[in-house]
């Protein structure tokens, strides 16, 4: 498990290039690219760059999950799914059957177990102990949180459940989040940190500073931190 930091002056383009490299490799080797999406402010520009650079990428062989979701309807302005649908899913033509959506509009515990069961069922068909993303995208908060795993949350110490309802410090507070057992089953993790003012937090997390939940993320092969400059 290797961690590395890369610096970028053209953040969205470099992020898209990295994602597409993983996509083409996974599709060539296994016929499917399993990509976990992140929320926050950066996805819109990255999705636009993905569409611009994708060329003849077979989008029907791309499967999407979500690292976290706000407990809101799918058409709500705070929905991570809505952003992905408007900026990536619909423009690319990824089939809806390839999109594993967290149902933020229903009871959070029910939604978390439903999502966990869906991913486990897919993994089981492939003979995997856990669903293994080819690439999982994550963001980094000012407090070092990632997905919706915030400092002090009981979810940080979860060892069995793969998706949990959580309470965040920012509105909307009710959320769903993947936990570290599922996150760390990913082959590769790509942290997307376009803000230069988060560089110190990112470097501390890479160094293992346990104050920051992001420090607990370790992809099975490697974890890359892409930092804007």
Domains of the chain: total: 1
Domain coverage including residue 182: 2-228
pLDDT score, position 170: 87
Q: Which two tokens stand for residue 163?
A: 């998706």
pLDDT score, position 58: 99
User: Which single residue is written with the structure tokens 């000012």?
Assistant: 142
**pLDDT per position as a tens digit, 114-169:** 999 999 999 999 999 999 999 999 999 999 999 999 999 999 999 999 999 999 99
Residues of the chain with confidence (pLDDT) below 70: none
The CATH code of the domain that includes 188 is: 3.40.50.1360
């Amino acid at each position: 498990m290797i961690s590395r930091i890369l610096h970028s002056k053209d953040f969205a383009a470099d992020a898209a290039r990295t994602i597409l490299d993983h996509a083409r490799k996974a599709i060539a080797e296994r016929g499917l690219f399993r990509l976990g999406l992140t929320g926050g402010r950066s996805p819109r520009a990255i999705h636009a760059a993905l569409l611009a650079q994708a060329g003849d990428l077979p989008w029907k062989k791309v499967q999407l999950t979500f690292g976290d979701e706000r407990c809101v309807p799918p058409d709500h302005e705070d929905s991570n799914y809505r952003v992905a649908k408007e900026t990536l899913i619909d423009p690319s033509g990824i089939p809806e059957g390839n999109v594993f959506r967290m149902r933020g509009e229903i009871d959070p515990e029910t939604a978390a177990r439903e999502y966990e069961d869906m991913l486990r069922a897919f993994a089981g068909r492939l003979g995997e102990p856990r669903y293994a993303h080819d690439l999982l995208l994550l963001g980094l908060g000012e407090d070092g949180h990632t997905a919706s795993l915030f400092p002090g949350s009981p979810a940080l110490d979860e060892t069995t459940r793969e998706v949990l309802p959580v309470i965040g410090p920012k509105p909307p507070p009710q959320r769903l989040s993947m936990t570290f057992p599922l996150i760390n089953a990913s082959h590769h993790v790509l942290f997307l940190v376009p803000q230069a003012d988060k560089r110190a937090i990112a470097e501390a997390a890479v160094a293992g500073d346990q104050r920051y939940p992001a420090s607990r993320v370790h992809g099975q092969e490697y974890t890359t931190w892409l930092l804007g400059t």
